[in-house]
Amino acid sequence: MFGQNSIYKCLFLSITTLLCSCSKKEIDKNDFHAYFGGEIINPNASYILFCKDNKVIDTLHIDNFNKFSKKFDSLTPGMYIIKHGDKTKYVFFDKNDSLNLRINTKDFEHASSFYGTGKNKNNFLLEIFASNIDNKNNLDFHYGKDYKKFKRSNDSLKDARTAFYLRRKTEIGWNHDFDLYAKAIIDLEYFTRLEIYPLAHSEYTNKNIKDSLPENYYDFRKKINFNNEKLSEFAPFTRYLAIMLNSIVSEKNIESDFDKNIAKLKIVDSLISNQKVKNKILNNIAFVYLLEDQNIVNNNEFLKQYFEISTDSTQQNEILKIKKSIKNLNDNNRLPKVELVDVKNNPFDLNSNIKKNTIVVFWTKNAINHYNASQKKINELAQTHPDYDFVSINIDHDYDYWSKLINLRNNPNTVDLQAKDFTNLKDLWIVNRLNRTIILNKDGSIKEVFANIFDEDFEEKL
């Protein structure tokens, strides 16, 4: 027989155990810790940017052994982006995942693998994105074929990828949140090729195939949810939308870039009701347009239309900053001052050193083939245009690498400089792509700020 004290002790222990158990479950329920680490072979920078919804939430530094690591006390499950140099990769975190990533930058798309908790679904992402690139190269020539042959090739690829997706989904057993992205990659790539086909076929054959396509050809657009916020920053979705808008506008036989982009704004306004998604796509359209059309009157009218539709005040301010920078780069103005150094690491004021007509190009060690091509082009132009000087600006942070390469190459036709703060240079000179080329008059005033040294008609601008 138990005594009364024994009964009380048992009750106390039982209640205590129950409370501790409940408390532990509550803690586990609210525990969103996660870990992300790995190794970057042949790193292009000393850090990795860890991003969510196109915003940097952490900078992961790479040590002397090319390793990085980060323990997150709390990380919301979902899709993230890592950026290293000019390369990006997606990584999906479930609750309490512990992931390691190994990348060789010499083959960024294929020489990558995940380890640890959550590795399987992320390795699926690596495989499917790498195959997108491989399939794009294999499928390009199919755009010149007749519709039946193209459809057979496109459907066959979709069937194979869907089978792979279903098999891996069964094997891994990922959740609904991840499945949204996994399925979107398959479907949107398929739909993107359908959008491209009529446009590309015309380029390949000089024939307009649209009138001979089935009446229901574009019915696949009805299958797409254009209002899913989770996809608003997802590259397969934004790429599809950009191509779809080009396709729709091409059907309207609109001539000018201004009218085409006004039409895109109106299409997005009528097509997308979710404000976050709508604002994202409107911002993409505005950003690209302002960098392509330098007509101030057009810009003002375009922005008037943009502001009537957009409700994102933060992005509106970013668009206005671009407009202001473009205005400052009008013909006859001088380039805004940015921090530059020469190969001896001495400060260099470009405006005060202009003695002749000058061509300015940009490069990065992350795209060395582009650098080699630009140097070759400069050497050719130096022969045909001896009245020009040539300035080659490196946009990396690695002074030692840059100075060694310049001393090794020792090109007598270039003045070699490095930007101390690429973000500042990018914002003030609007250098958003490597092919951006600036032409200056011999008094230092701007002659052409949105040129491309590789364009066939480039020399006509000189």
What Å distances lie between residue 304 and 181, 299, 311, 357, CA to CA? 35, 9, 13, 37
For the chain, which residues score pLDDT lower than 70? 1-28, 137-139, 293-294, 331-332
Question: What's the rounded Cα separation, in Å, for the pair 262 and 249?
Answer: 10
SS3 label, residue 222: helix
Burial class (CB in 10 A: 0-12, 13-18, 19+), 36: buried
- Write down the pLDDT at residue 1: 44
Q: What is the residue-wise DSSP string for 402-422?
A: HHHHHHHH--TT-EEEEES-H
Length of the chain in residues, anyone? Answer: 462
pLDDT of 353-365, one tens digit each? 999 999 999 998 8
- Write down the pLDDT at residue 139: 67
- Write down the pLDDT at residue 41: 92
63 Cβ contact partners less than 8 Å away, ≥ 6 residues apart: none
Radius of gyration of the chain (CA): 27
DSSP 347: B
- Write down the pLDDT at residue 131: 85
Residue recorded with tokens 């940017």: 49
What Å distances lie between residue 4 and 8, 9, 13, 15, 18, CA to CA? 6, 9, 14, 17, 21
- Strands 55-61 and 87-93 come out as unpaired
Question: What's the rounded Cα separation, in Å, for the pair 353 and 365?
Answer: 26
CB atoms within 10 A of CB 81: 19
- Write down the pLDDT at residue 358: 98
- Write down the pLDDT at residue 24: 46
Percent of residues, the chain, with pLDDT higher than 70: 92
Residues 219-226: contacts with CB under 8 Å, at least 24 apart? 220/191, 220/194, 221/191, 223/187, 223/191, 224/187, 224/188, 224/191, 226/271, 226/272, 226/274, 226/277
Angle, vertex CA 259, rays to CA 255 and CA 263, nearest 5:
115
- Write down the pLDDT at residue 287: 87
Q: Which tokens belong to 308? A: 């009537």
User: Distance from CA of residue 374 to its chain's centroid?
Assistant: 23
- Write down the pLDDT at residue 17: 55
